[in-house]
Structure 1
Amino acid sequence: MRQGAEGEGPVSATRLLVLGVVRMHGIAHGYQVRRELLSWSADKWANVQPGSIYHALKKMAVEGLLEQVEAEPGAGPGRIAYRLTDSGEADFDLRLQKLLSEVREDSTDDHGFAAALTFLPALSRERAIRLLKFRVIQLKGVRANLAALLEHGSDWGQPQHVNALYRLWQARAEADLEWTQDLIERLRTGEYVMADDAGPSFGRPAVG
């Protein structure tokens, strides 16, 4: 199975979510980001912990993805505010595309995909469809690989009972494939307000 590339997993999910929340607010301090993400229960489905939020803000400021702005009057040292730089906007966009379209075979708890799905409406409709269609291609490849393992695994020295694990992975791949194709169809029929639609879409950058 493919090993996750550097930057994937919970850390990447946290970075995308933090960038996305700051982007939504325009300017936000750590407590605002934490409150927003906890209100989404992101600590449960993306393993985002309060400490990792503050760490991500500081690290991405050092990396030039965020810039510090003047703290709110009387807010205290813990209320340093941030906004996205041009590099931060580019990183958010690239990370969103990557986590939405790529299939990770080495994790049943894909925090990165969950985070990307949260900001799906930040993409145009056609762009989201293209990325999800790429995900479908990969899922079909996963399904084919698992079918080969089930058919020939014992020939390659795999214990017979390991087939139970392959069947579990196969069922998950089938469910993911069906779900992704359904999401694509929903997008095609105009469901959800996307970035290129009229009206406010979830995750749209703050104006001004």
Structure 2
Amino acid sequence: MSATRLLVLGVVRMHGKAHGYQVRRDLLTWSADKWANVQPGSIYHALKKMTAEKLLEQVDTEPGSGPDRVAYRLTKDGETEFRALLCQALSEPDPGGHERSAAIVLMTALPRDRVAGLLRQQLVKLEADERTAELLGAEGEDSGQPEHVSELFRLWQVQAGASVRWLRELIERLEAGEYRMADDPGRSFGEPPE
């Protein structure tokens, strides 16, 4: 999965319709180029590719002094793809962190219980990763590997442990009612206009 793909679908969805410059501006304003490695050129590529895949459709063109601006909106398949990518990114560990970061930004587009359940799935997998790294570290001393290799297993264990703690706290905050989610009164962040 690509964080760029999820974020582009999410921004177009959020606006109801959006042109490439608008998507680019939003993502750069959010600093997605830093935390999700979204490059400006990849945004335009994603728009064209997802239009060819029938996930987006061109709805109008705004003439201007420069190149015409093509506006896009999600198709029914685009909405399905957005939700599938969002659910996958919320439920699966992400070693690079780009997809998880994109999913956290857009998580309010789903109902609270759904997000908490998906995060619990990720939590179970991360707890297993943490335990595996712990076991590998203990084994490493007697495995015949150079002793400094055990530092790699310690790194994995610390990273998994930090992710486990953060996820537990996020789930608690969601269950306590923090953040306006899709099933709460009012419009949540990322929801399309009516």
TM-score, length-scaled by structure 1: 0.89
- Residue 24 of structure 2 is matched in structure 1 by 34
- Could you tell me which amino acid in structure 2 is paired with residue 151 of structure 1? A
Does 68-77 or 24-33 show the bigger shift?
68-77
* SS of equivalent residue, structure 1 residue 185: helix
Gaps of 5+ in 1: 1-7
SS at match of 1:119: helix
Look up the equivalent residue of 1:88 and give its one-letter code.
G
Could you say what secondary structure the match of 2:61 adopts? coil
- When the two structures are aligned, how many residues end up with a matched partner? 194
Which sits farther off after the overlay, 39-48 or 71-80? 71-80
SS in 1 for 2:81: helix
Match of 1:3 in 2: none
Matches within 5 A, 1:20-169: 20-74=10-64, 77-104=67-94, 107=95, 109-169=96-156
C-alpha separation in 2, matches of 1:75 and 1:56: 24
Q: Is the 8 A contact 2:91 2:118 kept in 1?
A: yes
Distance 1:52 1:151 in 2: 43
Change in 2 beyond 3 A, CA 1:157/1:75: farther
Q: Which of 170-179 and 151-160 deviates more? A: 151-160
CA–CA distance in structure 2, aligned partners of residues 54 and 204 of structure 1: 22
Shift in Å, 1:156: 3.5
Aligned-residue offset at 1:76: 5.3
SS at match of 2:157: helix
- 1:73 deviates by 4.3
1:199 aligns with 2:186: yes
| 1:178 pairs with 2:165 | yes
Matches of 1:155 and 1:58, distance apart in 2: 53
Moved over 4 A (4+): none
Distance 2:155 2:46 in 1: 35
Taking structure 2 as the reference length, the TM-score comes to: 0.96
RMSD of the TM alignment (CA)? 1.3
Q: Percent identity between the aligned chains?
A: 58
CA distance in structure 1 between the aligned counterparts of 2:69 and 2:144, rounded to whole angstroms: 58
Structure 2 residue matching 1:198: 3-state secondary structure: coil
The AA in structure 2 aligned to 1:191 is: E
